[in-house]
């Protein structure tokens, strides 16, 4: 009997104007968001390739490796098409010169404030807002609407159990929601293929899990709609209750969680951190330079009465000491910077953990966090890239020092009553950028993304179970008189 009820429920949905309008809108928006994501992704790739090539062109004009201004660029990922996440909030590249801290700069939002004002339309946003509302629209009068129209009494005039009826009702409603979702993402697959987006097998796997997560999220609001409809006796009341619940779950709880975490665990701003580092760096370099100048004067005075060959050895020793002091000074600054940033990231991680723990009371946050982790656009994206860029900076610095770059050679000689100095510049041969170490993007594998999203998807599944049990029990107790 439950199959007959499910077929009738599905048929009623498919034949209704409400379904036609809602399904058309959701399908159109999902397909359009995928198309916009593909277009934006291709523009990002072109910008990335242009930035890397420009950096290499400038480097190829230099004759000294120490004069190169290297930078590391963040390569766009194809899964950003599904969930933009924090991708537009963080910078696109970082300078990795010896006197610069690694920091991603020039984000899309900083370059285009209009984009920041209106945000980005991606499939995650459409599912988060539109699909959840459509699920509520399909089911807000699933039970009490039948009672108001008198259909419920006619159905139970036959030999139908409440359990069979509610199961058939839920399955029929679920299939009605499932149809536009599957059609939308199948069209999305065609768009990805036709527009030439080359996805790896792991990316296709992530795409499939994204679709499953979207279905799971829509299913929760469908079950919630039936649950509230079984708790109330008027469809107008159930719609109002569901609207309030949706506003709280989708709009208020995620933002309130972030604000509460910020109040409970305040973290210094990036500007405060940079100001602290700049002050320490300036003080350390001033003290180091003063010490180097003092030592140089001492060595120079002690060598004034030496023989020319001994004096030359002394000056060579002086250069070695100066270089050692300079490296010690830079190492001290680097270590202090690493300690400050480590402390900052530890505080930030604690704040994020609290914010996400509170936000996960909402299924909307569970879905959004899961899709961001699947797409690799989660809040850890910035740290992953900056850590990789720090490793690349150390690799490049070692390479540049080994190459030497034909730097300036300084020679000084002193005789009775006179001092002479000579300086030879670098060779005029341009450097070969093909030998330059290449920056490698941090690895973010299929397994890493799935494991990261597993907990949030598990919570979302648990919410679905609770909603199903609630709808089932509420209908068993529903007064049909």
Distance CA 277, CA 389 (A): 19
Spatial distance between the Cα atoms of 106 and 56, rounded to a whole number of angstroms = 19
CA distance linking residue 115 with residue 88, whole number of Å = 9
Domain-embedded: residue 107: yes
CB 418 within 8 A of CB 52: no
Residue 419 has pLDDT above 50, yes or no: no
Q: What percent of the chain has pLDDT over 90?
A: 41
The predicted pLDDT at position 396 comes to 86
Give 203-258 pLDDT, tens digit per residue. 999 999 999 999 999 999 999 999 999 999 899 999 999 999 999 999 999 999 98
Give the separation between CA 195 and CA 319, rounded to whole angstroms: 60
Does residue 127 sit within a domain? yes
In a domain, 205, yes or no: yes
Predicted confidence at residue 151, as pLDDT, reads 83
Position 464 in a domain: yes
C-alpha span between 224 and 106 (Å, rounded): 43
What is the pLDDT, as a whole number, of residue 303? Answer: 65
Query: Is the pLDDT reported for residue 451 higher than 90?
Result: yes
The separation between CA 159 and the C-alpha centre of its own chain, rounded to angstroms, equals 54
Number of domains into which the chain is organized: 1
The CA radius of gyration of the chain, in Å to the nearest whole number, is 32
More confident residue, 113 or 146: 146
Indicate whether 308 belongs to any domain.
no
Q: Does residue 213 sit within a domain?
A: yes
Provide the residue range defining the domain that includes 142. Answer: 1-277+363-407+427-481
Long-range contacts of 457-466 (CB under 8 A, 24+ apart): 457/213, 457/216, 457/366, 457/370, 459/360, 459/363, 459/366, 460/213, 460/216, 460/217, 460/220, 460/363, 460/366, 460/367, 460/370, 461/216, 463/220, 463/363, 463/366, 464/216, 464/219, 464/220, 464/223
d(Cα 36, Cα 125) in Å, to the nearest integer? Answer: 13
**Residue 297: both structure tokens together:** 């004067």
The whole-angstrom separation of Cα 459 and Cα 461 is 5
The per-residue pLDDT for 116 is: 64
Q: Would you say residue 418 lies in a domain? A: no
Calpha distance 195→50 (Å, rounded): 21
Q: Is the pLDDT of residue 101 over 70?
A: yes
Residues forming beta bridges with residue 110, ordered by sequence position: none
Q: Which is higher by pLDDT, 48 or 432?
A: 48
In a domain, 158, yes or no: yes
Residue 429 has pLDDT above 50, yes or no: yes
Cα within 13 Å of Cα(43), Cβ side: 9
**pTM as predicted:** 0.83
pLDDT at 265: 87
Q: What is the mean pLDDT of residues 129-150?
A: 90
CB 234 within 8 A of CB 479: no
């Amino acid at each position: 009997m439950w199959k007959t009820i499910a077929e009738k429920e599905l048929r009623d949905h498919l034949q209704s104007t409400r379904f036609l309008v809602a399904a058309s809108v959701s399908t159109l928006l999902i397909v359009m968001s995928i198309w916009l994501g593909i277009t934006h992704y291709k523009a990002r790739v072109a910008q990335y390739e242009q930035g890397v090539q420009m950096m290499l062109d400038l480097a190829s004009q230099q004759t000294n490796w120490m004069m190169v201004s290297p930078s590391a660029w963040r390569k766009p990922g194809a899964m950003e098409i599904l969930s933009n996440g924090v991708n537009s909030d963080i910078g696109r590249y970082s300078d990795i010169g010896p006197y610069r801290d690694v920091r991603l700069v020039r984000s899309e939002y900083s370059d285009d404030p209009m984009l920041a004002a209106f945000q980005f339309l991606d499939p995650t946003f459409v599912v988060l807002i539109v699909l959840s509302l459509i699920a509520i629209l399909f089911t807000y009068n699933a039970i009490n609407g039948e009672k108001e129209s008198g259909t419920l009494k006619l159905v139970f005039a036959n030999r139908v159990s409440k359990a069979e009826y509610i199961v058939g009702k839920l399955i029929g409603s679920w299939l009605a929601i499932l149809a536009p979702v599957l059609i939308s993402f199948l069209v999305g697959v065609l768009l990805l293929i036709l527009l030439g987006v080359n996805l790896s097998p792991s990316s296709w796997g992530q795409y499939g899990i994204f679709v499953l997560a979207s279905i799971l999220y829509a299913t929760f609001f469908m079950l919630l709609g039936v649950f509230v409809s079984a708790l109330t006796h008027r469809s107008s009341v159930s719609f109002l209750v569901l609207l309030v619940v949706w506003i709280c779950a989708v709009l208020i709880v995620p933002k309130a969680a972030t604000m509460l975490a910020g109040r409970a665990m305040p973290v210094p701003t990036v500007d405060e951190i940079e100001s602290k580092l700049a002050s320490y760096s300036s003080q350390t370099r001033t003290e180091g330079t003063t010490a180097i100048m003092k030592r140089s004067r001492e060595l120079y005075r002690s060598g004034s009465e030496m023989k020319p060959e001994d004096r030359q050895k002394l000056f060579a020793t002086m250069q070695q000491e100066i270089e050692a002091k300079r490296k010690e000074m830079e190492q001290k600054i680097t270590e202090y910077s690493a300690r400050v940033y480590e402390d900052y990231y530890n505080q930030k991680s604690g704040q994020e953990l609290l914010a996400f723990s509170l936000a996960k009371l909402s299924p909307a946050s569970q879905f959004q966090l899961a899709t961001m982790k699947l797409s690799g656009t989660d809040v850890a994206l910035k740290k992953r890239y900056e850590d990789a860029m720090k490793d690349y900076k150390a690799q490049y610095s070692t390479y540049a020092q080994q190459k030497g770059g034909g730097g300036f050679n300084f020679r000084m000689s002193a005789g009775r009553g006179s001092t002479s100095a000579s300086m030879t510049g670098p060779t005029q041969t341009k450097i070969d950028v093909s030998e330059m170490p290449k920056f490698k993007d941090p690895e973010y594998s299929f397994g890493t993304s799935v494991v990261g999203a597993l907990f949030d998807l598990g919570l979302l599944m648990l919410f679905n179970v609770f909603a199903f049990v609630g709808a089932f029990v509420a209908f068993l107790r529903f007064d049909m008189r």
